[in-house]
Amino acid sequence: MRSIAPLFAALALSACATLPAAAPIRGDGLARLNEATGVGALVVTPRAVVEDSRCPINARCIWAGRAIVRTDVAGQGWRETLNLTLGERITTHGLALALTSVEPGKLAGAQPTVLQPMVFGYEGGR
């Protein structure tokens, strides 16, 4: 008969292994790329800047331009990926969501040597 001691030893050691902790979810509607934030009943995660043709904050433009951010949106029992346009409200699964800010603003001319990470602001509602 074989001993089951090696099995118990393996189980004991595996109990000591730790799984990587899930990244905390911010609750303020602000997030950097690949960072989740809560917006009402939704959890949103900006994944990529699809377009950023915004007028630089230190320039005069005929057209204000736009910013589009590919965003993962998750609710109770569902998840989808949407391209959200800055300033446009959408409705998904009966819940409103809007991309309300993209910071920092673009600059014309010489760029800073150290770029600040982009922060995206979202708002929701019914």
**How far, in Å, CA of 97 to CA of 40, rounded?**
9
CB 26 within 8 A of CB 35: yes
Strands of the chain, DSSP E: 30-31, 37-39, 42-52, 67-75, 78-85, 89-92, 95-103, 119-125
Provide, for the chain, the percentages of residues in helix, strand and coil under a 3-state DSSP scheme, each rounded to the nearest 5.
10, 45, 50
Tell me if 102 sits within 8 A of 118, measured CB to CB: yes
Judged against a pLDDT cut of 60, whether residue 101 lies above it is answered with yes
Q: What average pLDDT score do residues 94-119 get?
A: 84
The domains of the chain are located at 28-125
pLDDT tens-digit readout, 3-30: 555 544 444 444 444 434 456 677 899 9
Distance CA 102, CA 104 (A): 6
Residue pair 37/26 in contact (Cβ under 8 Å)? The answer is yes
Task: Give the C-alpha separation, 42 to 98, whole Å.
Answer: 12
How confident is the model over 105-126, as a mean pLDDT? 79
